Structure 1
Amino acid sequence: MRRPLTPTVLTAAAVAGVVTFSLVASAPLGNAAARPSSAYAVSAEGQVPIPKTPYAESLDGKRQTTSALELPQNPLLSVRAGTATAGNDSASVELFDIVVGPDILSQVKIPPELKQQCANLPAIGAGDLPLPDLALPDLGLGLPKLSTKDLPVKNLPDLCNLLLTPPKALLSIDSLNVWCSGAKGGIDIGSLSLLGQTFKVPTTTQGAALPSNPLAAIKVNTQTKHSDGAFTVTGLTIELGGAETITLASATCAKPAPKPKPKPAPKPPVDNPVPPQVNNPPAAPVPTPVKTHQPVTG
């Protein structure tokens, strides 16, 4: 049963102080040749770290699945539900309702002069008006200092629309599925919106990238063959301002687990054992009668 997740906004320090993740496991260390098949739904590295959650791995080739998704409270990422599965040379991930940077632009306070300028846009020629260079506040995502000129807009009307009616998230995705089997794999992604603009994602192209901007650089369907024979498919990798890296849906297929050698069958018990041979002594020779004459008396 999938459990919904609703994170609240905390500082990065609070996120780093989270201690207990009962359903999160770390990938095993040691010899790379022992890499198991594994899968995880989300992870993040940077000022807001999130461990691989949920994480599933198969050490013996048996199918392992976990769908209890619990992220630490954070201002960066929320997901409604997720499932990670790993088996013998196979792995998969399912994710639903992914939100990166919830309400990020609603925190921007628009200066009165910009509001006035947006309200008085001319009917003709508004697209040729210069963009104002206004500093954006710290949005709590570890991003570098940004201004209005760093936003992915083409002109002043686009900027007014983005700030006056901000989208609910920096990035939102309806669903994301990733799978691998042996040395093959792929992804399937639903509707993806970046700052309110919907993009068609080329899921069949390995290493495809969405249009880059100072807020986010997104790579899709990264496929990696490892030196130990394993194969990894990663759905999305999101770089936020060079300060935060988010990985969504990663599946790794290791070499098939070796089959155990069959034990030799035990010898069947003998029902009627043959008694051992006994060496009998040779039979005594038959005596030969001897003829004699008895004397006659009388």
Structure 2
Amino acid sequence: MRRQFAPTILTAAAVTGVVAFSLVASSPVGNAAARPSSAYAVSAEGQVPVDKTPYVESLDGKRRSSSALELPKNPLLSVRAGTVTAGNDAASVELFDVTVGPDVLSQVKVPAELKQTCANLPAQGADDLPIPDLPLPDLGLPLPTPSTKDLPAKNLPELCNLLLTPPSSLLGIDAVNVWCSGDDGGVDIGSITLLGQKIAVPTTKQSFTIPAAPLATITVNEQTKRTDGSFTITGLTINLGGGAQVIRLASATCAKPAAKPTPKPTQPTTPPTHVDQPPIAPPPTPVKTHHPVTG
């Protein structure tokens, strides 16, 4: 029986033109080396590297679990809690309250002219006003230099609201749960908020995509099957700046434990060499005779 997480209710509106979501099942990768079942909650590569944390593996098939989630101090990523478990051809991850880019827009100094324009928006027709293409300052993230055109705002009123009342993070993730058993697995993701706007994530739908933009690209439910029989499923892969920073959340690998070596058979002990003993002579057979009679 496969383990499954109860579905999380997602109440969200899709944000077009910002984040790409795709369900990926990669082709088999040649790898003959045996690998253990394992799981980790968070890892990151790039300007802000983070080792797999917490990480657990099972070399002998016995169940291992860890909740020791301690991230290095960094301006990019924070996580409240996470638990990872791995055993014989089974693994799972539970991850809660992930924040990417905290207070990313709070440092943006809105030009006085734009502030004045926002303050004087007309009561009617404001939704038709175009978004000015203004450069944004360095946001402290590994991203190309963004402008107001890169923000998830469809019109000038949305841009004013985004800059004058900035959200608490670039990306907020309520929960990510991942499990695998053998060569199968599943993902359950709570609500995702991108710059203050919630996004629906249909994790069971194949190749669901929202067009990407310079801010972030996210891959959901990335799966890899290998020729050694192992299977890996990763809940979310967040790509910032075209690969400048890659964050992976909730990854589980299922594999059978390596076979124990067969003990060599015990060689029999050579018996001592037999030494021939001299033959034992048989006892003499008595012979009956008659003695002469004398008178």
- TM above 0.5: yes
Residues 206, 51 of structure 1: CA spacing in aligned structure 2 closer, same or farther, 3 A cutoff?
A: farther
Pick 1 or 2: higher relative contact order, CA cutoff 8 A, min separation 6. Answer: 2
Which residue of the partner structure matches residue 61 of structure 1? 61
In the alignment, does 2:224 pair up with 1:257? no
Change over 3 Å in CA distance of 1:209–1:72 after alignment to 2: farther
2: CA distance between counterparts of 1:229 and 1:122?
Answer: 63
Please report the TM-score for the alignment, with normalisation by the length of structure 2: 0.77
1:247 is aligned to 248
Out of 218-227 and 197-206, give the one that drifted further.
Answer: 197-206
Report whether the alignment pairs 1:36 with 2:33: no
1:80-118 C-alpha deviation (Å, 9 max, x unpaired): 111222222222222111111111111111122222222
The match for 1:165 is 165
Q: Which runs of 5+ in 2 are unaligned?
A: 1-30, 269-278
**What does residue 13 of structure 1 align with?**
none
How far is 1:62 from its partner? 2.9
201 and 103 in structure 1: CA distance in 2 versus 1, 3 angstrom threshold: same
Structure whose CA Rg is larger? 1
Contact 2:34 2:258 in 1 (8 A): no
In structure 1, list runs of 5 or more residues that go unmatched. 1-30, 268-278
Deviation at 1:292, TM superposition (A): 4.3
Match for residue 155 of structure 1? 155
Aligned AA for 2:49? Answer: P
Shift of residue 284 of structure 1? 4.3
Aligned residues: 254
Report the equivalent of 1:4: none
Q: How does 1:156-195 map to 2 (within 5 A)?
A: 156-195=156-195
The amino acid across from 2:85 in the alignment is T
Gap change, CA 1:289 and 1:32, over 3 Å in 2: same
Q: Cα RMSD between the aligned structures?
A: 2.5
Matching of residue 217 in structure 1 with residue 217 in structure 2: yes
The answer to whether 1:113 aligns with 2:116 is: no
| CA deviation vs aligned residue, 1:200-231 (integer Å, no higher than 9, x gap) | 21112355444523211111001111233321
What does residue range 187-206 of structure 1 map to in structure 2 within 5 Å? 187-206=187-206
Moved more, 46-55 or 175-184: 46-55
Deviation of residue 260 (structure 1)?
A: 5.0
1:97-136 equivalences in 2 (<5 Å): 97-136=97-136
Q: In 2 relative to 1, CA 33–294 (structure 1 residues): closer, same or farther, beyond 3 Å?
A: same
After superposition, give the CA deviation of every residue in 1:238-259 in whole Å (9 maximum; x if it has no partner): 1112121111111122344325
Aligned residue identity for 1:247: R
1-structure distance, mates of 2:48, 2:239: 13
Hey, what's the Cα distance between the residues in 1 that align with 2:180 and 2:214? Answer: 32
Label 1:191 to 1:281 Cα distance change in 2 as closer, same or farther (>3 A). Answer: farther
* Partner Cα separation in structure 1 for residue 174 and residue 34 of structure 2: 35
Q: TM-score, normalised by structure 1?
A: 0.77
Contact persistence 1:84–1:93 (CA under 8 A)? yes
Q: Is the 8 A contact 1:177 1:249 kept in 2?
A: yes
Aligned twin of 1:24: none
